[in-house]
Structure 1
Amino acid sequence: MNMQVIITIIDFLLWIIIAANVMYVLFFALASHLPKKTHLPSAISHQPSFLVLIPAYHEDAVIINTVKSFLRQDYPKDLYHLCVISDHMEATTNEQLAALPITLLQPAFDNSNKAKALQYAISSISLQPSAIYDYVVILDADNIVAADFLSRLSQIARPNIAIQCHRTAKNANNDIAALDGLSEEINNSIFRKGHNRIGMSSALIGSGMCFNYEWFKENVANLDSAVEDRELEALLMKQGIFIQYAEDIHVYDEKVSNGDNFQRQRLRWMTGQMQALIRMLPCIPKAITTGNINYIDKTIQQALIPRSILLVLNPLLALLTLFAYSLLSLPSNLFHLPSYIFPLKWWIIMIIMIAAIIMAIPAPLRTKALLNKVLTLPQLVWYMLKNTFHIKLRNKEFIHTTHQQ
């Protein structure tokens, strides 16, 4: 096999891989514009109770405000209980928390992660005689919700479904934070809203999540990585439990506003994605034979190339293809086609990718101001590319991102 054939095969194989990623994004971006399903779950006979868990690792800057804000819920006080898992926080912070009407747990983990905090909380609270709840809600230490958050959640919560609320940015103080918030809204459109609109399960996102309490108590012990949301997702899919995206119930989340935090956050996500893919792949044959489309889909999601990297790969591979076919004169001997024809397929898929991303951006965010912030994108892509060399597949420690006071 000569060099011409080898380069041509590699070119088309790479294009097929990239094109498959782009088509996935395009399909669910389009699906997000379909009409919202009006089916409502069957009514429940009582007003449900909630256990709200907030794992807080070195979150002294934000946790007090988060807790005080949540305690303003208009839901009956005897039907919800807030528990903060204080992990390596300052004594003064713990003193302020202890004075509030919550349960404060203070574990001493050598290697901290969110899964351990959740397991510790459930094992501690389940020993209490009064620990009888219908649902468990998981929030991050920086999350802010409206006073009617639990009231609205109670209207759609059902024992046989999990719920992912609409996590959205509470800050856009600079270009990095604005783009981080925009990225989350694009993810909401593709991996949550678009999926639900065609009857598929939403993806989880780590906070703003609601589960049946008994289910969570039984399954939380199975978590053993630093990406508990992906593990919970896989467990739900294996058991045929649907994840509903509550797009109208907002959870306001602080977006990273500096490069170091952005890089650490994305490293955590990219590491988790690879870990989840390795864990989920062995169960694919069973998912195929049983027709578990949601499990197959969630596994595919773990194999997707990040969009920001795709935006760099497409033009780069187009230029490399042009170089190879032009300078090496490959087409003249192999296909007898002009050299510009072969890079063209890369530019086409690049245009489709950009169109898909624009479609996934909520209409109110498609503004001229957004174009100015796009200039920061190359810097963020560089952080993502650097992270590919730091992924540790066996890492189970939580990669912490700091929050603003």
Structure 2
Amino acid sequence: MNIQVIIAIIDMLLWLIIAVNVMYVLFFALASHLPKKTHLPSTISHQPSFLVLIPAYHEDAVIINTVKSFLQQDYPKDLYQLCVISDQMDATTNEQLAAHPITLLYPFFENSSKAKALQYAITSIRHQPSAIYDYVVILDADNIVATDFLSLLSQIARPDIAIQCHRTAKNANNDIAILDGLSEEINNSIFRRGHNRIGLSSALIGSGMCFDYNWFKANVTKLNTAVEDRELEALLMKQRIHIYYAEDIHVLDEKVCNSENFQRQRLRWMTGQLQALFRMLPYIPKAITTGNLNYIDKAIQQALIPRSIFLVLIPILCIITTITSYILHLASSLFPFKWWLVLLLFIGALFTAIPAKQRNINLVNMFIILPSLTWRMLKNILKINPRNKDFIHTIHNQ
């Protein structure tokens, strides 16, 4: 077997892996533009009650503003309870929180995680005589919602579904924050809106989530990693509970503003993605035999290569294969052509997934800072530990 054959085999295998990833992204990016299905009706004849949980680990910089903002809801005060799980926050912050009409919990964990905070809250609250709720809502400590947030949720909430609201950027103070917000909107198009448009479940995103209270109470104890949203997703898919993407109910989320936080956040996501994949694999055979398409789809999502890596990797491979083709006198073959094709399809997929209002000059700035951030992400691969359950906290600015 000569060197040209070996190179051709390696090239084709690598291209197939990347092409499958690109086609998945392209398919759902296009699907996100399909007509929206009819409005989801509520099956509850009364106004539902909500337990709103905000896990707050060292969130002194943002939690007070979040609580004050949320308490402006136009929903009946006796139909929702705001609960803040104050994990290792300053005494001054806790004193300010205690002055508001909320439930304030003070857990202490040797190793903190969002899952532990949620478990602690449910365990503490369910023993209260008045702890009877229809739904649980989970927000992050930096999330801001409109005054009609609960009113809108109450119109579509149903016991047989979970809801993922439209999380979007509340800040765009520098290029990194803009890139982070843009990445989230691309994810919204591909993994949430695009999936719902063809009848599949949306992906969860960690906050702006709504679950049936009894379901959540029964399942929150099963969480034991630092990526609780992916665990909840897998549990919902196993039980064939649909995740509805409420794209018109917005949750403003603070985007990271420096490269260190960007790297820390992506390391958490990449670690969680790998953990979720390993946890989901054993159930795949049963999902296949029972036709559980949503579970299979969510497992595939965990196996996808991060798109930001592709934005650097595919152009490099295009150049390498073009040069190699010339050196080995393969210019007449499709050796480099297929790489340039997959690059065009990938760029087209991302552009299709970007909301129209964000297709502006900022995209040029994104390409300027992307190489350095991608290099940091590539270094993150060396830090991934599939067995690590430590919570990687994203620091918020004052």
TM-score, normalised on structure 1?
A: 0.96
Matches within 5 A, 1:179-194: 179-194=179-194
Taking the aligned partners of 2:361 and 2:88, their CA distance within structure 1 comes to: 43
Matches within 5 A, 1:258-269: 258-269=258-269
| Change beyond 3 A, Cα 1:167–1:42 | closer
Question: Is the Cα contact below 8 Å between 2:164 and 2:202 reproduced in 1?
Answer: yes
Identity of aligned residues (%): 77
Residue 367 of structure 2: aligned partner: 374
Deviation at 1:42, TM superposition (A): 4.7
Residue 332 of structure 2: aligned partner: 338
Residue 385 of structure 2: aligned partner: 392
Deviation at 1:127, TM superposition (A): 0.8
Residue 221 of structure 1: aligned partner: 221
Residue 302 of structure 2: aligned partner: 302
Residue 140 of structure 2: aligned partner: 140
- After the TM superposition, which segments of 4 or more aligned residues of structure 1 sit over 6 Å from their partners? none
Aligned letter for 2:89? M
Taking the aligned partners of 1:113 and 1:42, their CA distance within structure 2 comes to: 33
Q: Secondary structure at the match of 1:342?
A: coil
Residue 293 of structure 2: aligned partner: 293
Residue 38 of structure 1: aligned partner: 38
Deviation at 1:82, TM superposition (A): 0.5
Deviation at 1:397, TM superposition (A): 1.1
Name stretches of at least 5 consecutive residues in structure 1 with no aligned partner: 332-336
Q: Secondary structure at the match of 1:182?
A: helix
Aligned letter for 2:332? P
Taking the aligned partners of 1:105 and 1:369, their CA distance within structure 2 comes to: 42
1:54-90 deviation line (CA, Å, top 9, x unaligned): 0000000000000010000000000000000011111
| Change beyond 3 A, Cα 1:39–1:102 | closer
Aligned letter for 2:3? M
Taking the aligned partners of 2:53 and 2:196, their CA distance within structure 1 comes to: 26
1:16-42 deviation line (CA, Å, top 9, x unaligned): 000000000100000000000015335
1:247-272 deviation line (CA, Å, top 9, x unaligned): 00000000000000000000000000
Deviation at 1:322, TM superposition (A): 3.0
Question: What is the total number of aligned residue pairs between the two structures?
Answer: 398
Residue 91 of structure 1: aligned partner: 91
Aligned letter for 1:151? S
Residue 103 of structure 1: aligned partner: 103
Residue 334 of structure 1: aligned partner: none
Aligned letter for 1:191? F
Q: Secondary structure at the match of 2:336?
A: helix
Aligned letter for 1:370? L
Aligned-residue RMSD, C-alpha: 1.1
Deviation at 1:313, TM superposition (A): 1.3
Residue 49 of structure 1: aligned partner: 49
Aligned letter for 1:256? V
Matches within 5 A, 1:99-138: 99-138=99-138
Aligned letter for 1:146? A
TM-score, normalised on structure 2?
A: 0.98
Deviation at 1:327, TM superposition (A): 2.9
User: Among residues 350, 360, 366, which one is paired with 1:357 in the alignment?
Assistant: 350
Aligned letter for 2:100? L
Question: Is the Cα contact below 8 Å between 2:41 and 2:155 reproduced in 1?
Answer: no
Deviation at 1:231, TM superposition (A): 0.2
Q: Secondary structure at the match of 1:167?
A: strand
Taking the aligned partners of 1:343 and 1:325, their CA distance within structure 2 comes to: 7
Q: Secondary structure at the match of 1:252?
A: strand
Taking the aligned partners of 1:250 and 1:379, their CA distance within structure 2 comes to: 31
Taking the aligned partners of 1:261 and 1:363, their CA distance within structure 2 comes to: 27
Matches within 5 A, 1:163-182: 163-182=163-182
Q: Secondary structure at the match of 2:335?
A: helix
Q: Which shifted more, 377-386 or 357-366?
A: 377-386
Q: Secondary structure at the match of 1:133?
A: coil
Name stretches of at least 5 consecutive residues in structure 2 with no aligned partner: none
Residue 59 of structure 2: aligned partner: 59
Aligned letter for 1:354? I
Q: Secondary structure at the match of 2:236?
A: helix
Q: Secondary structure at the match of 1:168?
A: strand
| Change beyond 3 A, Cα 1:42–1:155 | closer
Q: Which shifted more, 1-10 or 191-200?
A: 1-10
